[in-house]
Chains A and B, each alone.
Chain A
Amino acid sequence: MNGIRWGYALNQWKPQFDDFVRREDHERALKTISIAGFDGVELTAGTGRWEPLGNPQQVVANFGSLEGFREFMESCGISAVCSWFYDPQQRSMEHLTGPLSPLNPADMDGIVAKAEWFARALAELGGSVLLVRAAPSAWEVPPDDDALNRLAECWSRVGNATMRYGVRTALHVDFLSMLRRGDALEVLLALTDPSAVGLALDTAEMTVSGIDPCAVIKRHPRRVWHVQFKDALAVDDAEEYLQSHAEYAVRQRGGTREIPRWFAEPGVDDGRVDFAAVTRVLLDAGYSGWIVFESDQSPHPATSALHGGYLLQRELRPIVAAESVMS
């Protein structure tokens, strides 16, 4: 019997800072996710009054308590916030801190404190993984030994801190990340405490980077602590991620080819990720934990969720069920 559970990332419902703030919006999105076949929901850290699900303080302000939010979720058919994505480089209005960098030793205490803040809440919401943006973008800083050592120290401290709440810290590596360069990711994994820090495998970010997600799972079967199923519609084979301000020029604008969407929901036409193959490799690796479907952004969030649900129900669940029977 494997322990795979299926979740969906809510971020596609919030394209802008002042969208998706009302309770009825949350209710409709959670019911959509539930009826599409998913059990958990992944949140993205946010800040301020129009981010009701962005951090523990805003959740409490909106739902009275974490327990109140959990009851609300359950009333919509969702059992847990399986995971929270936290990028320390985002500004916090709650603490009025600017971007924090895992490369800056002076920021480390602040990052640990915020990670604990999320982990405490996640534990109460039924979750088990804090995803962190592991490193700044490649155009900002090269992954030399010194930088990788500082990252390892920061995330090992964070991982040990969140573990106290029963929450594991998983490094999320995006296609703009400095960890995409050379063997930086391999080195970082070797430098971090394997009992405290794992990997959040995002199938699309890997594929856009030209990295085979299955190969990563096979190389690090014990380090994959969280999985995001997101499809990729193009590959950055010209290494445009090294461009200055790649967040806007490449990720949003689509680079010189003006890719309209790098990412899409699993189940989309022309997607480059073979989700059945990734699922089998995860099963072979003995993976147990959440697999979260994600579209990242979508012109039609509910449609994206249903396309994902179709793939899940018709193809992936049967694969997992068959493996359970065999074992």
Chain B
Amino acid sequence: MAWTKWSYMDHWVTETPQGPQPPSFNRDHMDRYVKQLSALGFRGFDTFFFYLPILAGLYGSVKAFEEYLQDNGFDKITGIFSAYPYATEYTAPHVSETHDRIVADCQATIRAVEGLSVENFIVMPSTTYFQVEPVTDEKIKIMADLWNRVGRLTLEHGMRTTCHFEFWGAIRTREQLDLFFSYTDPQYVYFFCDTAQHTIAGVDPIQMFRDYRDRCTGFHFKDTHTVDTHEAYRTPPDPELMAPQVTRWFHEMGTDGGLVDFPALIREIVTSGYDGWLTVEHDKAELDGGSYAEATCVAKWYIDNVLAEAQALADQGAAR
């Protein structure tokens, strides 16, 4: 049976009379956006913590927005993405003095989704690499301490804190990832596998999933055409959008030149018995004149054709 638990990460941009804007520009744009996702068969919706007040403003409450999604064929809001990507005096996961403030901030996000059944509280566990280096075992331990605290907290509210690693973050190599997970409590801190981010960092996302299957709570199915071989990850102030050598790191599934082996990943997922959500993501699809609608169609076509076939083969293998 084809995988049905596909969710969509909320990066979409629409053209409005005021220029390109997120669909939360108004309810008409949200309507068109949600109908397109619905037509593509998505059943889960992941969004950013900073969109929650806007959604509450548009629909009266986040719960009312979720009901609107359900009226359009969705199951629910599946994940909330939260991040502190830039270290400041007050926010730096590798500096323990800032942890109380970060925890308090996470509590505010938790309150914003109280009463829903969001599964994943997705976090970037570190800030940019260049603000942390030298990355030491001690700093990784301090970051792990923070997410252990947050993980315990979110679990009390039914959400798992799950770590999404960036190619430009302070925890990026396989050794650093393993060390971080060894310092975190498996009860409280989980793994979120972004296929493109790990690939850019030179880490095999399939092997990561294989090794952390028991702690994996989700994926960003996203492709890249580039491995960071020139240490762009160390580029201040922001390697993701401002690296001089690369203007676009991320692509939707199904483009020529994509480096992620998604059929192999879906086979691994099926074989492992994982039954959670799989999320389609493609940041900055509008670069090079692209459109979010078209990028999402291309990705979903790839899912329904290429990945479905790989999944069917894996299902047959599992049945044998």
Contact = CB atoms under 8 A, between A and B. Distances in A.
B237 A15 contact: no
Interface in B9-53: 13, 15-22, 24-28, 50
A252 B27 CA distance: 9
A301 interface: yes
Interface of B: 13, 15-22, 24-28, 50, 54, 57-58, 60, 84-86, 88-91, 98, 101-102, 105, 108, 128, 236-238, 241-242, 247, 283-284
B26 A248 contact: yes
Given A21-B242, A96-B102, A299-B15, A49 B58 contact: no
Contacts of A300: 19
Interface residues of A, number: 40
Interface of A: 12, 15-19, 21-23, 48-50, 52, 57-58, 61-62, 91, 93-98, 245, 247-249, 252-254, 258, 260-261, 296-301
A249 B54 CA distance: 11
B17 A260 contact: yes
A96 B88 contact: yes
B19 A15 contact: yes
Contacts of A12: 19
A311 to B, nearest CB: 20
Contacts, number: 99
Contacts of A57: 88
Contacts of B19: 12, 15, 297-301
Nearest to B21: A15
Given A50-B241, A95-B90, A253-B26, A61 B236 contact: yes
Contacts of A248: 24, 26, 54, 57-58
A42 to B, nearest CB: 18
A18 B237 contact: no
Contacts of A98: 105, 108
A245 B57 contact: yes
Nearest to B56: A245
List of 5 A-B pairs having minimum Cβ-Cβ separation, nearest first = A260-B17, A253-B26, A297-B18, A245-B57, A61-B237
Contacts of A297: 18-19, 21
A299 B18 contact: yes
6 contacts: A18-B283, A49-B128, A91-B50, A245-B60, A248-B26, A261-B17
Given A61-B237, A96-B90, A245-B58, A16 B17 contact: no
Contacts of B84: 93, 96
Contact of A16 (B20, B27, B88): B20
A50 B91 contact: no
A307 to B, nearest CB: 15
Contacts of B88: 57, 93-96
Nearest to B48: A17
B13 A16 contact: yes
B238 A261 contact: no
Contacts of A261: 17-18
B260 to A, nearest CB: 22
A97 B101 CA distance: 9
Nearest to A297: B18
A304 B237 CA distance: 30
